[in-house]
């Protein structure tokens, strides 16, 4: 079944600042649609996080949940998943996804919140994502 997901506090420290910062300054295509599609584990966001995000950005988050990395991986490898942001376990899943070219590189110029990520966690991911491109 693979590695368990990050603990909720760790995941929130790692991904939520980047998500919020990135989506606040996201592409014109996303703004035109006013929706962002997320695929994540259950209970990774506080109950009010997505509502606050929508209130502050006017972008409606659509959250779908999965209960196993294999489910996420099957959707990604099938192609055209429709998700803007996914939350896989880093090893081995995200490593395989990156190697297979399933992710688009981040435009870091549109992510001013990257400096708020925990540097130790960011550094720990460089073996699977050199340069933290994804």
For residue 100, count CB atoms less than 10 angstroms from its CB and return exposed for 0-12, middle for 13-18, buried for 19 or more: exposed
- pTM summary value: 0.70
For the stretch 19-77, pLDDT in tens is 544 444 444 344 446 999 999 999 888 999 999 999 998 999 999 999 999 999 999 99
Domain residues of the chain, as ranges? 8-132
CA distances from 67 to 12, 41, 124 (A): 18, 6, 24
CA distances from 103 to 10, 72, 73, 129 (A): 22, 13, 12, 11
pLDDT of residue 10: 55
36/85 Cα distance (integer angstroms): 8
8-132, CATH topology level: D-Maltodextrin-Binding Protein; domain 2 (3.40.190)
């Amino acid at each position: 079944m693979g590695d368990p997901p990050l603990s909720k506090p760790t995941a929130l420290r790692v991904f939520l600042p980047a998500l919020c910062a990135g989506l606040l300054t996201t592409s014109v295509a996303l703004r035109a649609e006013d929706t962002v599609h997320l695929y994540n584990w259950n209970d990774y966001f506080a109950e009010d996080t997505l509502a606050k995000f929508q209130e502050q950005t006017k972008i409606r988050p659509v959250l779908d949940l999965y209960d196993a990395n294999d489910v996420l991986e099957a959707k990604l490898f099938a192609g055209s998943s429709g998700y803007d942001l996914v939350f896989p376990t880093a090893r081995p899943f995200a490593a395989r996804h990156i190697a297979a070219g399933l992710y688009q590189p981040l435009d870091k110029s549109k992510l001013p919140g990257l400096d708020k990520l925990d540097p130790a966690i960011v550094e720990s991911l460089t073996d699977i994502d050199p340069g933290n491109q994804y």
